[in-house]
């Protein structure tokens, strides 16, 4: 899918942590992996900037080794702080995905509670109004 | 005070840094024209945001050279490496350097926190 850049920001860092957690890897390989997943807009430079940040924040171990061709290549593995960050990422992701899933108009309310007589244009805002009270208050406790 | 001395008055360090800069720029000159052009554009763009001694910025630029050299060897064009949004690429890297815009943000939040305290936060 294309034009995801803005929405992907922040999430990509977690994706990289996950990919690195599965075994030593390097920038080019990570980019290929993300492209294969369907993130076709991700280029080497995107991966690179995130790797620079992960390294600066000391979430990865970096091993610079001579590769078969070209300049020495940086190989990345997760360190303890990185694994903790990855765990936090999945917890945050779980929360975001479930909350946004609840906001989706087609999933907001069970079908039988939707007003049958109103055309969809009027039905929508009403559904939205009825969401906050029952969902947001309790959920916060269980996730924090 | 010692940081200040180290960054601005430490002559051996400055000479070493100048020598390294020359060496690194020679690597840039050896790259294809599109890479050379984009590198210099990135370099001058990012310097506009630099704060402090700028040593961190230089390090980031030298690392870009390595990224670009890999791209050259893979036979890619430079925009296949950076993406078309080169400014966006720079923005991400600027997060790892000291910038005056970041200094301003920190100053704004610090001054407000000093005045109103932390009680409204978190």
ipTM of the complex: 0.85
Which of B24, B46, B66 is the mutation pick for testing A, counting most A CBs within 10 A? B66
In terms of residue numbers, what domain contains B57?
A: 2-116
Minimal Cα–Cα distance from B25 to chain A, Å? 16
Residue B112 within a domain: yes
CB contact under 8 A, B83 and A52: no
For residue B95, the chain A residues in CB contact (below 8 A) are 53
In this predicted model, what pLDDT tens digit does every residue of A34-50 receive, in sequence order?
999 999 999 999 999 99
Residue B56 within a domain: yes
| Positions of chain A with pLDDT under 50 | 118, 122-123, 125-144
pTM: 0.78
> Which residues have CB under 8 Å from A95's CB, separation 6+?
A143
- The answer to whether residue B112 neighbours chain A at the CB level (below 8 Å) is no
Ramachandran quadrant class, A98 (left: phi over 0; alpha: psi -120 to 50; beta: rest)? alpha
Of B81, B85, B95, Cβ closest to residue A44: B81
Residue B67 within a domain: yes
As for how many domains chain B has, the answer is 1
Residue B122 within a domain: no
Q: Is A25 helix (H, G, I), strand (E, B) or coil?
A: strand
For residue A52, the chain B residues in CB contact (below 8 A) are 60, 63, 93, 96
Residue B29 within a domain: yes
Is A62:A70 a contact under the CB 8 Å cutoff? no
In this predicted model, what pLDDT tens digit does every residue of B31-52 receive, in sequence order?
999 999 999 999 999 999 998 8
Distance CA A49, CA A27 (A): 10
Which of B30, B70, B91, B98 is the mutation pick for testing A, counting most A CBs within 10 A? B70
Residue B121 within a domain: no
- The answer to whether residue B89 neighbours chain A at the CB level (below 8 Å) is yes
What's B48's domain CATH number?
A: 1.10.1900.10
């Amino acid at each position: 899918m294309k034009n995801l850049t803005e929405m992907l920001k922040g999430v990509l860092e977690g994706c990289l942590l996950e990919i690195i957690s599965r075994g030593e890897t390097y920038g080019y390989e990570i980019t290929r992996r993300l492209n294969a997943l369907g993130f076709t807009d991700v280029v080497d430079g995107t991966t690179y900037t995130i790797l620079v940040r992960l390294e600066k924040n000391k979430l990865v171990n970096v091993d610079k080794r001579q590769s078969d061709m070209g300049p020495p290549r940086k190989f990345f593995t997760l360190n303890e702080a990185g694994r903790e960050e990855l765990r936090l990422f999945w917890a945050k992701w779980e929360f975001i995905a479930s909350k946004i899933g609840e906001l989706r108009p087609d999933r907001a309310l069970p079908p039988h509670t939707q007003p049958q007589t109103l055309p969809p244009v009027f039905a929508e805002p009403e559904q939205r109004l009825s969401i906050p009270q029952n969902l947001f208050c309790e959920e916060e406790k269980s996730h924090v | 005070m010692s940081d200040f001395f180290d960054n601005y008055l430490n002559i051996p360090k400055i000479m070493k840094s100048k020598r390294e800069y020359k060496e690194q720029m020679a690597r840039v000159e050896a790259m294809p024209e599109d890479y050379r052009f984009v590198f210099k554009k990135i370099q001058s763009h990012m310097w506009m945001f630099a704060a402090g001694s700028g040593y961190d910025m230089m390090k980031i630029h030298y690392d870009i050279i390595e990224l670009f050299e890999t791209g050259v060897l893979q036979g890619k064009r430079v925009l296949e490496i950076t993406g078309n949004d080169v400014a966006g690429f720079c923005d991400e890297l600027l997060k790892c350097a000291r910038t005056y815009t970041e200094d301003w943000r920190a100053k704004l939040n610090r001054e407000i926190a000093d005045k109103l305290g932390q009680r409204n936060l978190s």
